[in-house]
A and B are shown apart, each in its own frame.
Chain A
Amino acid sequence: IAGITQAPTSQILAAGRRMTLRCTQDMRHNAMYWYRQDLGLGLRLIHYSNTAGTTGKGEVPDGYSVSRANTDDFPLTLASAVPSQTSVYFCASSDSIGYTFGSGTRLTVV
């Protein structure tokens, strides 16, 4: 089934630890995105990539990094997790108009 796979589904992480959230798509979409969702704040863009080899910063990029080595994969790394990064993280991809979202990663930083 075509779509986006995110892993892990959920994670509890000690503050200060490094963590990589994985995102893989099989639709050959050029553009990919990382959003975080917090209650009452909607979806906020962290980083994006319009095509393999390029990345850009979104609204809330601090504390996060991304890479886009190929079309299918777009991992998000938290270098040193802090409690304010507790959130639900959604990866998405797009070919033109509509975005396809993964099922999300629920991350709790303690």
Chain B
Amino acid sequence: GQSLEQPSEVTAVEGAIVQINCTYQTSGFYGLSWYQQHDGGAPTFLSYNALDGLEETGRFSSFLSRSDSYGYLLLQELQMKDSASYFCAVKGSGNTPLVFGKGTRLSVIA
């Protein structure tokens, strides 16, 4: 089976940097994804890491260490609109569906 652990809540100040960690246990590993969900909305795809290292997309970056079964999402220059829930998700193989973590609720404060 697969399981993921991420913090339930994180609070950060507008303009700051925040890191949301995710550790996973899986029988197979194909990649780690991150999704953002605003209250009342649908999850939206942010990033995907299949290999070790850092992937950068604008203010958001995602990191993966396969040997440590660990990844994180880094949000820079935080804005109030970044307040949302963030989910890490793991794919065990090419044809298996994503398994999601329980999500981290990020609150950005002034």
Contact = CB atoms under 8 A, between A and B. Distances in A.
Q: Do A and B come from one complex?
A: yes
Contacts of B35: 99
Contacts, number: 48
B70 interface: no
A42 B97 contact: no
Contact of A58 (B31, B41, B89, B97): B97
A100 interface: yes
The residue in B48, B97, B99, B102 that gathers the most chain A C-beta atoms within 10 A of its C-beta is B97
Interface residues of A, number: 24
Interface string B38-61: 000111110010000000000000
Contact of B43 (A31, A43, A59): A43
B71 to A, nearest CB: 15
Interface in B1-42: 8, 31, 33, 35, 41-42
Contact of B33 (A33, A58, A59, A97): A97
